[in-house]
Amino acid sequence: MMCTILAQSAHAFPNADEVRAAFLFNFAKYSKWTEEALPKEAPEFRICVVGMPGITKTLEEGVGKFIKDKPLKVSAISTLQYLSNCHLIYWNEHEIRLPQDVRSALIRKGTLLVGEGAQTEGTIGFVEHENKIGFVVDLAIAREAGILMSAQLLKLAIETRGSVEESR
C-alpha cells in the first residue's frame, strides 16, 4: 500500500505535515468501524485535528474524496467538547492532554485516536524511525474501540502491540 499524498507538493519530498496527513487518510481508509460507530446513514466521515494547522490544511485539500462511501469532512478542533462527532482524531499529546474520561468515552464510541510517540494514549502513534515518519499500533485499544485494521495497514507499522487474532 502506498500512502498517497493528498496534495501535490511544490517540492521534491513531502514535508512532515503532508506525510502525517497521508497516513491519517490511509488509517481511515484501511480500518473498519462497527455499524454503531459509523452508521450507514452517517452523512460524512469526519477527521478532526486538535491544533496543528499544517496537517489540517493538507487534509482539507482531500475534501471531495470519500472514505467508507462517505464524503470526507475535516475539522480543526480547538476545544475538547467538539470531539464527540469525530470518527478519527489526531492530536499532539505533548501540547494537549486528553483527560482519561474523555479518552475512554471516545474509545467506547468507536473513535480512532491517533497521537504522537510510541507511548501514545491512542490507537496509533506516530514515531520517527530511521529519519522517517512511521507509526505504532495498539491492537488492544483498537479492539476496545471496535475498529479492525487491515493486514496491509498493520504490515506498514513499525510495531504492533497485541496480536492480530485478538483484534478481530
Q: Tell which residue, 23, 16, 54, has the closest CA to residue 124.
A: 23
Q: Poorest-confidence range of 50-54, 79-83, 106-110?
A: 79-83
Cα distance between residue 18 and residue 4, in whole Å: 10
Taking 50 as the threshold, does the pLDDT of residue 80 lie above it? yes
Q: Which residue has the cell 504490515?
A: 155
In the 8-state DSSP scheme, what is residue 97? P
Question: pLDDT per residue over 45-62, tens digit each?
Answer: 999 998 888 899 999 988
The residue ranges of every structural domain in the chain are 16-162
For the whole prediction, is pTM greater than 0.95? no
DSSP 120-166: -SSSEEEEEETTEEEEEEEHHHHHHHT-EE-HHHHHH-SEEES-TGG
> What's the pLDDT score for residue 78?
79
The CA-based dihedral angle spanning residues 150, 164, 137, 155, taken in that order and rounded to the nearest 10 degrees: -50
pLDDT band for position 107 (cuts 50, 70, 90): very high
Cα distance between residue 41 and residue 114, in whole Å: 25
Cα distance between residue 82 and residue 67, in whole Å: 21
Enter the C-alpha cell of residue 132: 522517517
Query: Given 3.40.33, 2.30.30, 1.10.10, 3.40.50, which CATH number is that of 16-162?
Result: 3.40.50
Q: What is the mean pLDDT of the chain?
A: 85
pLDDT band for position 99 (cuts 50, 70, 90): confident
In the beta sheet, which residues pair with residue 37?
Answer: none
Enter the C-alpha cell of residue 105: 468515552
